[in-house]
Structure 1
Amino acid sequence: MADLRLVGCKIYSVWGTLLFVLLFYASEVRALLCYCHPCYNSDTNGTCKTSDTGACYASKSLSSIDENEELETLTWGCFEPVEEILLQCTPSNVPHKWVTKCCKEGELCNLYLNLTLAELDLDLPDDGTSDREQRAESVSKLALLISIVSVTVFLIVLLVAIAFIYFRYKRQELRRRQLLVDSEHETFIPPGQSLHHLIDESSGSGSGLPLIVQRTIAKQITLVRSIGKGRFGEVWKGKWRGENVAVKIFFTTEEQSWFRETELYQTVLLRHDNILGFIAADIKGTGSWTQLYLITDYHENGSLYDYLHLHALDTSEMLYLAHSASCGLSHLHVEIFGTRGKPAIAHRDIKSKNILVRKNGTCCIADLGLAVRYVSETNEVDVASNTRCGTRRYMSPEVLDETMNKNHFDSYKQADMYSFGLVLWEIARRCVIGGIVHDAELPYYDYVPQDPSIEDMRKIVCIERIRPTIPDVWYHDEYLKVMCRVMSECWNPSPAARLTCLRIKKTLGRLVESIESTTKPPKHQ
């Protein structure tokens, strides 16, 4: 508030200065009282009054009576600001038998003008400035004053607007921080329980919170900071009832993607340690804007892509990442039969940026916006209505050359396995072998540009049949050798010859058991 009062004092000071300048200038252009003779109005007592921009004048002229005698005539009065009249105040370069002078210096100033016919030989008046120049100067002063006033008013309005926006932002920021502090100390969840316990107790299907809770959760969440952006919208870290959550905010144009992903996350029996935990979906907005929320578990390590750029891996860490990712994808692909079974689901956008790393060093599959379901009762594939078909760099050969059978569900699972083989290659690159580790890179980084087109990928993958380079040193390590064989079989040009995710899960599971028998396993949550 003290800052606002200081800004108000400055505004009043500036306006006071402007008012003084305007009054001072107005005194220079006021009407003048002039001496007149002869006076054409008998009620003026020998005076006349000019307009606001007029002038007083005095004139002397000589007229010839005969060849030897001339008559001198003196007149005084007021001039109006008409160009033709003003010209009479300026002596000409040609001598005349008359002289006229004008003044605006004060009341009755024309009584004191010195009129001598000798001045007729001068090029300019005695004071060195003609009345026309004086008036031009007055007009320029007025224009300058108007410009100064306009700029000053604009700057004042701008400063007031900036001050208002700044103090409003500070007030909102303080309020947000206070809400965040308060949320840290909330005790909505009973001691000894977590958000996961609340979900498991209230939702037997493992598909998030009860719908009645989901429809009010958006108003209870405090957004902390943005942690990612994409084609669909933005991901924020949030606080709800004292626990961290991830909030995926969809653009309003992506309503179909939000609805589709929400529908898939609420699939019965989908909940799994290696699939991103769904909490709730809600719509938040007013009459002018709408936000589509998808609330999930928060994992501070971020995506596998980010994790690999920051961490070099030993053999056990590599295997835990690869095996846990295969467990999540295998759970998606498998169909669980029963009264309330789970349909088989294909992801369609497997990549390192859509796999998250949990605190215990294992992975979970995220982003089901493009996933498809297999409806076994009707033998149909439930495909999303949006036009996106995945990430070009990770597309399988049959997707790139458009030869995939879209009516056969196994085709989608086989395309997932090709993409998963590329993810395994990314993980293997960060494994330290003999003290050497490779930089984290995307598949085909050395063949295509950073944002490749469909044609770029089709040429490399389908026509030239190039696959990511496997260093020779990998074949000299017991575990990496198996990884090389697995990823190579995932890259097979023939979709039917590729390994299933269940087979990869079992193969990598044996490697994990082998390494756990010789080393201490990492601590799990």
Structure 2
Amino acid sequence: MFYILFVVCWCLCHVSGVNPLNPETKEGLLRCVCSDCPSNECVTDGYCYVIFTLEKSGETTPYKNCFARDILIPPPRPFICQNTKDPNSHIHCCGDSDFCNEDIKVPFVIPQEEPREWNLWHIILVASILLFLLLAIIVISLGWLWHHRKQRNRRLRRGFPDVESVLDRSEVPLMGPHTPIRDVIELTSSGSGSGLPLLVQRSIARQIQLIEIIGKGRFGEVWRGRWRGEYVAVKIFSSRDERSWFREVEIYQTVMLRHDNLLGFIAADNKDNGTWTQLWLVTDYHENGSLFDYLMRYPVDTVGMIRMALSIATGLAHLHMDIMGNKGKPAIAHRDLKSKNILVKSNGTCAIADLGLAVRYESATDSVDIVHNNRVGTKRYLAPECLEESINMNHFDSFKRADVYALGLVYWEIARRCNTGGGCEEYQLPYYDMVPNDPTIEDMRKVVCIYKQRPIIPNKWQSCEELRVMSKLMKECWYQNAAARLTALRIKKTLANLGAHDDLKC
């Protein structure tokens, strides 16, 4: 604004014929202070003036000069001397004496914004907005909860059973309060594998005292708990893994499944805390943890190695076995056999756990009961035909042969930790020296299928009869051709004969 007024004034001075840079002192002319003249003064036959401009910094800048008479229109009150509505600029004209524009004071102060006062309407407006947002959040939350329950009920109507339908399979009377867990299971299930009686299962989640977390996985958490004075393992599934929970419960409740070398199933229950449902799977507790954890901490001798290997083969053979009859057992394939899914019992034998990916063979319809979900077995333990996606999903023996391949890798892990008197190797996962820590399907496919590599078997194992037999078994489990691999029953018999020489009974 200041520069615009300056240019206007400069032009006016030259148009009127007044020369502020070279004033001529004549009688009857008015002398004024000039801000940009060399002599700091100018002469005119009109008025002196001063323009005050308010800068953004809050300071005022004065500009002084003179107007010629012929631009003072109308003469009594010329327009050029009138102030506009701009609050940041002010002009003052004078002509009563020489240099009358010299000591003009600043005619205005810095305008300040008046503080805004809150009145009742402002408070009501803000409160209304906050209340609207709160109601919107509540409505959205209720809508999400309703949609979640609707989707779950829709899944149930499509044939996916709920907790109650799974638990309703036990219809035996309730035992006394002081009966040990194992006795209750043996007396009530008669080997059916259906776990505890119905009334116990439906209330067990409220009776178990959770003590500490002993494991975590993609399914959820595993806790050590106490029930009826005994330790139990509680596998708590997240609600998004409901299908895996249901599948594992369904497999565990298969008739005639209970076996010493399979993790003992106790009960299944759900616990609703109001916002989401916990899915519980209660099983036997083994303080030694998984085979993976055990081998990381301790070496084994040849007797311990054969005991572990024989117990795993025995459990797998029982899974794979098809028992005919009215109360028979269908053949079951594990599909995720690995050292982390095998537990070490206090007597040194092992129990196979985690049946969430298991499949059953329905002999009546000659079909494979497989549940399709996004989970696959552990990549490191996948058989070549699984990596190449050439496995025949309609042929049940294909799944059993993939289990045997994984069993050979587990045997290699155990054999590495076998101390024959000259020490043993440190624990490693299969293919530790060939693939990254978290290999992809493509990483494993290149090693196993293209290059046809297998874990390295040290030459010194040939000097020990037990390790030599284990080496031979591993190789016969690893065949690229799945049909050439040993069966779990054949492996069990071979190890049983080997153990008999050392007076081993499993």
Same fold (TM over 0.5): yes
Match of 1:402 among 377, 381, 389: 389
SS in 2 for 1:516: coil
2:326 corresponds to which residue?
339
Amino acid at match of 2:390: T
Residue pair 2:193, 2:252 contacting (<8 A) in 1 also? no
What's the secondary structure of 2:235's corresponding residue? strand
Cα drift, residue 510 of structure 1: 1.0
| Match among 184, 195, 218 for residue 198 of structure 1 | 184
Measured in 2, the distance between the counterparts of 1:516 and 1:408 equals 39
Partner of 1:240: 227
Deviations 1:174-226 (A, max 9, x none): xxxxxxxxxxxxxx9666x5211011112222320112221111111111000
Distance 1:282 1:385 in 2: 23
Residue 389 in structure 1 maps to residue 384 in structure 2: no
Correspondence for 2:411 among 413, 424, 427: 424
Cα contact 1:273–1:364 (8 A) shared by 2: yes
356-365 or 199-208, which deviates more: 199-208
Match of 1:434 in 2: 421
State the distance in 1 between where 2:342 and 2:353 align: 6
Q: Deviations over 1:208-257 (max 9, x none)?
A: 01122211111111110001111111110111111111000001000111
CA deviation profile, 1:106-129 (whole Å, cap 9, x unmatched): xxxxxxxxxxxxxxxxxxxxxxxx
Alpha-carbon distance between aligned partners in 1 of 2:240 and 2:198, rounded to the nearest angstrom? 24
In structure 1, distance between residues paired with 2:211 and 2:494: 41
Q: Which residue of 1 aligns with 2:310?
A: 323
Alpha-carbon shift at residue 434 of structure 1 (Å): 3.5
Post-superposition offset of 1:496: 0.4
The residue aligned with 1:314 is 301
2:502 counterpart residue number: 515
SS of 1:467's partner is: coil
Question: Which one of 456, 481, 487 corresponds to residue 494 of structure 1?
Answer: 481
Structure 2 equivalent of residue 92 of structure 1 = none
Any idea what SS the aligned residue of 2:501 has? helix
What is the match of residue 454 of structure 2?
467
Q: 1:512 to 1:189 in 2, by over 3 A?
A: farther
Greater helix share, structure number: 1
- Cα displacement string for residues 106-157 of structure 1 (whole angstroms, at most 9, x for unaligned residues): xxxxxxxxxxxxxxxxxxxxxxxxxx9xxxxxx9xxxxxxxxxxxxxxxxxx
TM-score, structure 1 as length reference: 0.63
1:116-265 matches, cutoff 5 A: 193-204=179-190, 205-265=192-252
Question: How far apart, CA to CA, are the structure 2 residues paired with 1:492 and 1:304?
Answer: 24
Q: Does 1:456 align with 2:437?
A: no
Say which SS state the counterpart of residue 502 (structure 2) adopts: helix
* Equivalent position to 1:304, from 279, 288, 291: 291
- Identity, % of aligned pairs? 61
1:119 counterpart residue number: none
Instruction: Give 1:385 shift.
Output: 2.4
Indicate yes or no: 2:261 matched with 1:266. no
1:372-383 matches, within 5 Å, as 372-383=359-370
Q: Are the aligned partners of 1:189 and 1:241 in contact in 2 as well (CA < 8 Å)?
A: no
* Distance in 1, Cα, partners of 2:420 & 2:426: 13
Q: Distance in 2 between matches of 1:356 and 1:206?
A: 18
Provide the rounded CA distance (Å) in 1 between the counterparts of 2:346 and 2:334. Answer: 23
Please tell me whether the aligned partners of residues 252 and 290 of structure 1 are also in contact (alpha carbons under 8 angstroms). Answer: yes
Q: CA deviation digits over 1:429-452, x for unaligned, max 9?
A: 000123220011000000000000
8 A Cα contact 1:215 1:282, kept in partner: yes
Structure 1 residue aligned with 2:103? none
Q: Please, what TM-score do these two structures have when normalized by structure 2?
A: 0.65
Q: 1:291 aligns to what SS in structure 2?
A: strand
Give the letter for the 1:470 counterpart: I
What is the alpha-carbon distance in structure 2 between the residues aligned to residue 315 and residue 434 of structure 1? 10
Separation in 1 of the partners of 2:388 and 2:197?
44
User: Is this contact kept in 2: 1:189–1:195, CA < 8 A?
Assistant: no
Alpha carbons 2:254, 2:329 under 8 Å: kept: yes
Contact 1:236/1:246, CA 8 A, preserved across alignment: yes
State whether structure 2 residue 491 is matched by structure 1 residue 504: yes
Give me the whole-angstrom Cα distance separating, in 2, the residues matched to 1:359 and 1:221.
23
Matched residue SS, 2:324: coil
SS in 1 for 2:377: coil
Length, aligned pairs only = 352
Preserved contact between residue 270 and residue 342 of structure 1 (Cα < 8 Å): yes
- Cα deviation for residue 462 of structure 1 reads 0.1
Residues 288-336 of structure 1 show CA distances to partners (whole Å, capped at 9, x for unaligned) of 1210000000000000000000111111001101100111111000011
Of 269, 286, 294, which aligns to 1:282? 269
Supply the distance in 2 between the matched residues of 1:286 and 1:234 (Cα, whole angstroms). Answer: 17
Contact 2:238 2:278 in 1 (8 A): yes
- Given residue 323 of structure 1, which amino acid in structure 2 is its aligned partner? L
Partner of 2:434: 447
Corresponding residue number in structure 2 for 1:366: 353
5 Å matches for 1:473-488? 473-488=460-475
**Aligned residue for 1:27?**
none
SS in 2 for 1:236: strand
SS, match of residue 216 in structure 1: helix
Following the alignment from structure 2 to structure 1, what is the Cα–Cα distance between the partners of residues 444 and 371?
A: 24
Contact 1:405–1:411 (CA<8 Å) still a contact in 2? yes
Offset of residue 341 of structure 1? 0.3
| Structure 2 residue identity aligned to 1:363 | C
